[in-house]
Amino acid sequence: MDLKRRIPLLRWSVWRMAAGVRNITTTGQIGDGREAAAVDYVLAHARAGDIDDVLATIDKFAYEKSMLINVGDEKGLLLDAAVRRADPALALELGTYCGYGALRIARAAPNAKVFSVELAEANAANARRIWAHAGVADRVTCVVGTLGDGGRTLDALASEHGFASGALDFLFLDHDKDAYLNDLLSIMDRGWLHKGSIAVADNVRVPGAPKYREYMRQQQGKLWNTVEHKAHLEYQSMVSDLVLESDYLR
Ligand SMILES: C[S@@+](CC[C@H](N)C(=O)[O-])C[C@H]1O[C@@H](n2cnc3c(N)ncnc32)[C@H](O)[C@@H]1O
């Protein structure tokens, strides 16, 4: 494997990302225009209507141009397998970014309606361009907001998008790591999950979601059954990470 792929610190875009990482929780972007550049790159290089090629082109951009904070190709395989196991009719992602994770979910569940909640309007606009190019815009929807905004986004999901009791088959948490647990609990409070719903959480080791991990440990065999998958942080093999895959038991 080429050294720059394996060792992220050899890449300028990684150092630039470290400098811009504080922006992620406010603007949702690194701050150097790389997300818009990724969309332009995909539209210029990926075959329209070809989900595989769109995903591969995003991965290529992240490896060869600028590092992106998508779930990425390695952890993406864990996501794909969990989605296939859930075989969802309705799936929800928290944290859209450029639309890569939702596109992987849509590919693994060809009949699913996929929703992705994103705090930054600019990311929603980028993701919609990617989804349109991949040909999935009719069944992948970005909702701008957060689940912590006092109920506005949760209510919108319920009243406009069919989120109802027992309707949610698959949940992917990949947004603000400090919000994982509260947002999961909000979804559980709404009663949207059913026995056999699956929740997948990225970045549980890095940047880290310790409260979520602890909650899943405490609930093992009670409300949830969780498997912890060891993997690497996206687009490199130096830093390890954890993906949690949890089955809802009620
Ligand atoms: C790691 S990226 C998501 C990557 C995406 N899931 C993928 O695999 O392609 C995190 C995203 O979450 C968004 N975000 C941060 N806090 C959020 C929140 N509380 N609710 C929704 N989105 C949030 C950021 O703007 C950013 O776009």
123 an active-site residue?
no
Minimum mean pLDDT range among 43-47, 201-205, 220-224, 234-238: 234-238
Residue 184 CA to residue 215 CA, distance in Å, equals 11
Q: Describe the strand order of the beta sheet including 193-201 as a list of residue ranges.
A: 140-144, 113-118, 90-94, 168-173, 193-201, 240-248, 224-232
Asked if pLDDT for residue 129 goes beyond 80, the answer is yes
- Determine if ligand 1 sits within 6 Å of the CB of residue 95: yes
Q: How far is the CA of 199 from the centre of ligand 1 (A)?
A: 16
Are the beta carbons of 176 and 26 closer than 8 angstroms? no
176 an active-site residue?
no
User: What tens digit of pLDDT does each residue of 152-177 get?
Assistant: 999 999 999 999 999 999 999 999 99
- Coil, helix or strand at residue 2: coil
**Residue range 97-103: mean pLDDT, rounded:** 98
Residue 14 is predicted with a pLDDT of 76
Asked if pLDDT for residue 1 goes beyond 70, the answer is no
On the 0-12 / 13-18 / 19+ scale of CB atoms within 10 A, 71 is buried
Q: Which of 35, 176, 177 to mutate to test the pocket of ligand 1 (most atoms within 8 A of CB)?
A: 176
Asked if pLDDT for residue 10 goes beyond 90, the answer is no
177 an active-site residue?
yes
Q: Which two tokens stand for residue 100?
A: 């890569």
Q: How far is the CA of 99 from the centre of ligand 1 (A)?
A: 10
Residue 240 is predicted with a pLDDT of 94
- Coil, helix or strand at residue 15: helix
pTM, whole model, 2 decimals? Answer: 0.95
E strand spans, 101-184: 113-118, 140-144, 168-173
Asked if pLDDT for residue 12 goes beyond 90, the answer is no
Catalytic position from the list 73, 202, 241, 245: 202
Residue 128 is predicted with a pLDDT of 98
Q: Write down the mean pLDDT value for the chain.
A: 95
Residue 2 is predicted with a pLDDT of 72
Pairing of strands 168-173, 90-94: parallel
- Coil, helix or strand at residue 110: coil
Q: How far is the CA of 25 from the centre of ligand 1 (A)?
A: 8
